[in-house]
């Protein structure tokens, strides 16, 4: 064991104990596995730069919410709420993980995230539908009533209540595929985006029904849940867990939130055009909008442009941004920025990117093509290196 590993292990054990986290709680908070955390604390392995930064952020948040360890009622309540929040995503993911018996993580994420997306838009629709039923002269089945409030129109056969009532039928896979097709048909923004592979023989329909019942047990799209960003939390947590399960490949569609936060806070995109030439699942855009709102700005003050070469990841990004109401131009299809620049005439004010360095053939030797095809007024390159946890104080 190296000196660095010993020091980090001691630091990690000390901070975790002081913050009052169990190993499973802390692991879920940083989208890592408990086994990884145990290995770090034992000095058998070293976390990545992103994981170290994530740990520091979690410990800082715990310290800020509990400046002293006095057992006051306020402190106890805050600690309990934090634990419940951490456990919420973790329990949901573990329950949903039963599908992993039938498929690998790369395929699994599309099945689960597609259902979460469907549940979210259906919840938002049903809440508006119930409100319209109480309004005089309003037609709850008028599509325009929903579009005016930036709510996706969900046709009857695609509504969650209908699908959940059919969850135990052997035809549930086809019903979900048909629902996805109907939603894309009635909502042009989602055309070609939603997964439609639920009826394939390899996907066990009994297990699929259980997953539908599980997701149906939580509220995602109601006004209160939207204000608490329940969907955002679930979606991001699942993305992180899928990336961890896929290992090296996971970096192709997910950049850990602490890294994204660092990039956004350094660049501070208050107003203008924000561009990510390798946008993955869209985390840079989500954090940019969060940054603006946290600093009293308006999300309308920025325009979002991006591109993604992987077709399934491009769809993840479209869903990720759609559920948050972010209007983004990611091109009409997936495309490699080096070979098919979809934004040749764009003059971007901010460029945020985490190129896929985890892939040896990501095309770094061709990076000059991006700079010649687009005119950027503001480019910031950021390199994060870790040698000592204290660097993140």
Per-residue pLDDT reduced to its tens digit, 51-96: 787 788 788 777 665 443 333 344 344 444 444 444 567 766 776 6
Burial per residue of 67-97, b for 16 or more beta-carbon CB atoms within 10 angstroms, e otherwise: eeeeeeeebeeebeebeeebebbbebbeebe
Q: What is the pTM of this model?
A: 0.64
Answer whether residue 237 is part of any domain. Answer: no
pLDDT at 31 > cutoff 90: no
Distance of CA 227 to the CA centre of its chain: 16
Q: Is the predicted pLDDT of residue 169 greater than 90, yes or no? A: yes
Cα three-residue angle 374-379-384, rounded to 5 degrees: 130
Cβ atoms 369, 338 nearer than 8 A: yes
DSSP, res 194: S
Check whether residue 176 and residue 202 sit in a common domain: yes
Answer whether residue 16 is part of any domain.
Answer: yes
Same domain, 254 and 181: no
Contact 347, 377 (CB under 8 A): yes
Q: Cβ(376)–Cβ(351) under 8 Å? A: yes
387 is a domain residue: no
Is pLDDT of 346 > 80?
Answer: yes
Span 211-243, pLDDT tens digits: 898 888 776 555 555 544 566 667 667 767 766
Looking at the fold, whether 117 and 44 belong to one and the same domain comes out as no
Distance of CA 346 to the CA centre of its chain: 26
Q: Which residue, 72, 92, 112, sits at the end of a domain? A: 92
Structural domain that includes position 84: 3-92
Residues 88 and 109 in one domain: no
Asked, for residue 353, whether it belongs to a domain, the answer is yes
Domain limit, last residue, from 183, 198, 228: 228
Does one domain contain both 110 and 223? Answer: yes
Per-residue confidence (pLDDT) for residue 21, from 0 to 100: 83
Number of domains in the chain: 3
- Note whether 273 and 175 are same-domain residues: no
Residues 8 and 40 in one domain: yes
Domain-embedded: residue 391: no
Whether 358 and 297 map to the same domain: the answer is yes
CATH code for the domain of 68: 1.10.260
Which CATH number is 351's domain given? 3.40.50.150
Please indicate, yes or no, if residue 192 is contained in any of the structural domains.
yes
CA distances from 343 to 304, 313, 339, 366, 377 (A): 12, 19, 12, 17, 15
DSSP letters for 77-121: HHHHHHHHHHHHHHHHHHHHGGGGGTS-HHHHHHHHHHHHHHHHH
48 and 114 share one domain:
no
Percentage of residues in the chain having pLDDT higher than 90: 18
Segment 150-179 shows an average pLDDT of 94
Q: Of 170, 194, 228, which residue is a domain's last?
A: 228
Contacts 24+ apart (CB under 8 A), 80-84: 83/25
Domain with residue 206: its CATH number is 1.20.1260.30
Do both 151 and 210 map to the same domain? yes
Are 59 and 119 part of one and the same domain? no
């Amino acid at each position: 064991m190296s000196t660095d590993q010993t020091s980090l292990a001691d630091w990690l054990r000390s901070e975790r104990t002081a913050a009052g986290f169990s190993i499973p709680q802390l692991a879920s908070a940083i989208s890592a596995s408990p086994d990884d955390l145990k290995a770090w604390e034992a000095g058998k392995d070293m976390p990545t730069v992103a994981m170290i930064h994530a740990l520091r952020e979690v410990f800082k948040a715990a310290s800020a919410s509990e400046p002293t360890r006095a057992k006051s009622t306020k402190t106890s309540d805050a600690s309990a709420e934090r634990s419940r929040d951490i456990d919420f995503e973790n329990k949901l993911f573990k329950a949903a993980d039963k599908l992993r018996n039938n498929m690998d993580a790369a395929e699994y994420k599309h099945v689960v995230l597609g259902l979460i997306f469907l549940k979210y838009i259906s919840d938002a629709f049903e809440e508006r539908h119930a409100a319209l039923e109480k309004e005089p002269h309003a037609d709850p089945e008028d599509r325009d009533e929903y579009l005016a409030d930036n709510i996706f129109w969900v046709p009857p056969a695609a509504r969650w209540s209908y699908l959940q009532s059919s969850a135990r039928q052997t035809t549930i896979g086809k019903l979900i595929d048909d629902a996805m097709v109907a939603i894309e048909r009635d909502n042009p923004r989602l055309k070609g985006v939603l997964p439609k592979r639920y009826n394939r023989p390899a996907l066990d329909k009994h297990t699929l029904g259980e997953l539908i019942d599980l997701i149906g047990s939580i509220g995602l799209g109601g006004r209160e849940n939207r204000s608490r960003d329940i969907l955002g939390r679930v979606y991001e947590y699942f993305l992180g867990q899928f990336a961890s399960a896929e290992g090296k490949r996971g970096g192709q569609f997910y950049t850990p939130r602490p890294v994204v936060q660092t990039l956004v806070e350094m660049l501070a995109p208050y107003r203008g055009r924000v561009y990510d030439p390798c946008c993955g699942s869209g985390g840079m855009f989500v954090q940019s909008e969060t940054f603006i709102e946290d600093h009293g700005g308006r999300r309308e003050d920025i325009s979002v442009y991006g591109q993604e070469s992987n077709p399934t990841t491009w769809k993840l990004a479209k869903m990720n941004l759609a559920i948050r109401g972010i209007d983004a131009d990611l091109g009409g299809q997936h495309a490699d920025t080096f070979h098919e620049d979809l934004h040749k005439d764009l003059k971007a004010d901010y460029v945020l990117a985490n190129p896929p360095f985890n892939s040896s053939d990501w095309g770094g030797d061709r990076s000059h093509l991006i700079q010649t095809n687009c005119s950027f007024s503001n480019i910031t390159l950021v390199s994060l290196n870790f040698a000592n946890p204290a660097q993140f104080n």
